[in-house]
Amino acid sequence: MKQDFYLQLVSSEHPISQIPSKKDLIPAFPGIFDILLECRAAYALRRLIKDLDAFDKIVPVSGFRTRQEQQDIWDQSLKDNGLAYTRQYVAVPGCSEHEMGLAIDLALKQEQIDFICPDFPQDGICGKFRSLAPNYGFILRYPKGKEAITKIAWEPWHFRYVGIPHAKWIAEHQLTLEEYLCGQSIQNLSKVSTF
């Protein structure tokens, strides 16, 4: 995939423009064949989970989704939870990072796992994962307090692969992807205006 694929902003205002081909998708965790990620994101996630020795403590809940799968999740949540809840936690079909293969929802391994809002606590192994994630190219995509920018509720379980230098910068400066990309375009504009 081209470098700019990994920094693509996808949100309700920015529909997906590039999806990975089937050959670029591999299991997010080895041996779990129905949860896929784009291969660079998958290898980064596997390295992180391996370095944390967490393959038996953290489980993948949802990775790549086709447009139809996103539509089915939206429709089902609408039926089960209503529009307000669905809008907060489920991206509009065609506007989900899961359709890019760059987003992974994770849960602490336990018997009951909520598919829409999995339990991924702040402390313990999940807390360690969260603090190390940027070193492997992942950001917490929908942080607490940034809901007005992301238009999605705080999702402590949803991680997005953007690549290492970007993820580190975003985490260090406590930015959202929206703020990071907006800052970059302002920098580019100021560069252009000096010529």
| Catalytic residue flag (residue 155) | yes
**In this chain, which residue has its C-beta nearest to Zn ion?**
158
* Token pair recorded at residue 50: 């391996």
Whole-number minimum distance, CB 98 to Zn ion, in Å?
6
Cβ 145 to Zn ion, closest distance in Å? 19
Closest CB 83 distance from Zn ion, rounded Å: 19
Kindly list the residues in this chain that would bind Zn ion in the complex (CB under 5 A): 105, 158
Between 78 and 183, CB nearer to Zn ion: 78
Phi/psi at 36 (5° precision): -110, 155
Cα-flanking dihedrals φ and ψ of residue 58, to 5°? -120, 140
Task: Tell me how far apart the alpha carbons of residues 166 and 179 are, in angstroms, rounded to a whole number.
Answer: 12
Residues 6+ apart with CB under 8 A from 37: 25, 26, 27, 28, 45, 63, 64, 101, 102, 104, 161
Of the pair 99, 105, the CB lying nearest Zn ion is at 105
What's the rounded Cα separation, in Å, for the pair 66 and 132? 29
Nearer to Zn ion, 40 or 158 (CB): 158
Candidate list 155, 172, 178, 179, residue with the active-site label: 155
The residues annotated as belonging to the active site are 155
